[in-house]
Amino acid sequence: MDIRNDMLEMLRDYTDGRITEVNPDDVLTSDLGLNSFELFDMICLIEEKYEITIPDRVLPTLVTVKDVVEYLEANV
């Protein structure tokens, strides 16, 4: 399971190709331009895809792409 590539694919699909390239240190809001709702929607898609629930207290720590990938690698 290559979570890194999965994430890039999900971001690309979700933003209709708006996001084509992703670096691990990209900040989801200021670099990739996701607003709060798009973040919320992405988290919902991730939870569905990997059948997990991300606790509220973890959400503020998911700032960069790497943060999300590392969390998934540790919890999926």
Partner 1 sequence: MKSEYGKYVRGGAPETKKFDINKPFVKTRAYLLPAVWAYCNIRRFHHLEKIEKIRMEGIKPPYILLCNHNSFYDFYVMMCAIAPYRAIHPAAVDDYIGREHLLRIAGTVPKRKYTADISLLRVARQALKENQIFGIYAEARYSLCGVTEVIPDAVGQLIKHQKVPVVVLNCKGHHIYDPFWGDHKKRFVTGLEATMTQVLTPDEIKSLSADEISKKVKDAMYNDDFRWQSENRVKMSYRKRAEGLHKVLYQCPHCMTEYKMNSKGTKIFCEHCGKSWTLNEYGELVADKGETEFKFASDWYKWEREQVKKEVLAGTYYFESDCHVNDLPNSKGYVRLGNGKIIHDMNGFRVTGIKDYDGKPFEMNIDAAGQYAVHVEYNYRFGQYKDCIDLNTLDDTWYVYPHASEFSVTKISLATEEIYNEIWRKRNEERIAAAK
Closest approach, Cβ 6 to partner 1, in A, equals 20
Q: Which lies closer to partner 1 via its Cβ, residue 1 or residue 59?
A: 59
Distance CA 62, CA 28 (A): 8
The window from 6-14, 27-35, 66-74 that contacts partner 1 (CB under 8 A) reads 27-35
Half-sphere exposure of 42 (CA within 13 A, CB side): 26
Q: Which residues pair with 64 in a beta bridge?
A: 27
Closest approach, Cβ 3 to partner 1, in A, equals 19
Residues near partner 1 (CB under 8 A): 17-18, 27-31, 33-41, 43, 56-57, 59-60
